[in-house]
Amino acid sequence: MPSSNALRAAVNDAHQQFAGLTDGKNADYIPYLATVPSNLFGIAVVTATGDTITAGDVDYAFAIESISKLFTLGLVIDDIGADALRKKIGASPTGMPFNSVQAIELHGGKPLNPFVNAGAIATTSLVPGSSPDAKWANIIGEMSAFAGHELKVNEEVYKSESDTNQHNRGIAWLLQSYGYMYSDPIAATDLYTRQCSVAVSAKDLATMGAVLAAKGVHPVSGKRLLKEANVREMLAEMTLNGMYDASGDWLYQVGLPAKSGVGGGVLAVVPGKMAIAAFSPPLDNYGNSVRAQAAIAHISSQLKLDVFGA
């Protein structure tokens, strides 16, 4: 485990070096995301024992988007178990964009993993609860417990996504037709859209990730939030599918399980040690934040955090 001085130096250095990067572009297929200031850039590290190191815009609340898929996965995997999840959703990369309909057609309707939209909506349809409200209470309750305080939906994001989520609704109906949707498809898509609209800061995200780094225990409260046995399955999913179609390149270059979202957040976990979250809205062609990737890659290489490099 690096010293806190070394951690602080690496985080500050990454912020200084990459704040000036101007590559990439905010997501705009969700209109709200195009309006977030592109120069925002924050990095937060939370260790498995609860120490926090930050640089830049770490309190700005942005849309969690796809990173929410990780926490809904945690809820469902703890409820139905890793084997059932693998049967109902899958655990392999699709090799296609995150919202591909073709991928569903090519695999007999099976979504293949919980991080593409199809698999995420199917995962959300498995959230325990007798009504959409009860399911929502579980989803937001789970995310809030990980963050250590109450998280809220950004209603503007939710409206912007709801007005434009016809493609995701289409995916949900398609899954239903193949028997891979486990509740009403429209209700599941709405819950999924809401979970993507939850506002988090880079500091929140690092705290949430630190629960995975600490094998399922919250680093500050000490409460167990995930079954220990399921943490490795979640890290495996992140490793395989967390960075969209760049997951292989990311693993090759950085060697850390991570999950990215089109809101500009990236969350990486160093098992047993820490979580590193970075946020900056401009994305590369794969949908991953340019500055966030550069920052995490830099910190990982400075501190030799690569899980395959030991």
Query: In the complex with ligand GLU, which residue's Cβ is closer, 71 or 98?
Result: 98
CB distance 181 to 46 below 8 Å: no
Is 66 labeled as ligand-binding? yes
Q: Distances in Å between the alpha carbon of 15 and those of 55, 56, 90, 236, 299? A: 6, 7, 37, 28, 10
Helix 68-80 × helix 185-196 angle, to 10°: 130
Which of 26, 54, 66, 138 touches ligand GLU (CB under 6 A)? 66
CB distance 36 to 62 below 8 Å: yes
Is 144 labeled as ligand-binding? no
Residue 168 as a binder of ligand GLU (CB under 6 A): the answer is yes
Is 244 labeled as ligand-binding? yes
Q: How far is the CB of 73 from ligand GLU (least distance, A)?
A: 14
Which of 73, 188, 196, 235 touches ligand GLU (CB under 6 A)? 196
Query: In the complex with ligand GLU, which residue's Cβ is closer, 65 or 237?
Result: 65
Is 161 labeled as ligand-binding? yes
Classify residue 309 as exposed, middle or buried by CB count within 10 Å of its CB (0-12, 13-18, 19+): exposed
Residue type, 88: K
Query: In the complex with ligand GLU, which residue's Cβ is closer, 54 or 168?
Result: 168
Residue 262 as a binder of ligand GLU (CB under 6 A): the answer is yes
Report residue 201: phi and psi, to 5°.
-100, 170
Is 60 labeled as ligand-binding? no
Name the DSSP letter for residue 33: G
Query: In the complex with ligand GLU, which residue's Cβ is closer, 89 or 217?
Result: 89
Q: How far is the CB of 263 from ligand GLU (least distance, A)?
A: 7
What residue is closest to ligand GLU based on CB?
66
**Residues shown for the chain:** 310
- The CA distance from 71 to 75, in Å, is 6
Residues 99-118 that bind ligand GLU (CB under 6 A): 99, 117
Residue 161 as a binder of ligand GLU (CB under 6 A): the answer is yes
* Residue ranges binding ligand GLU (CB under 6 A): 65-66, 98-99, 117, 161, 168, 196, 261-262, 287
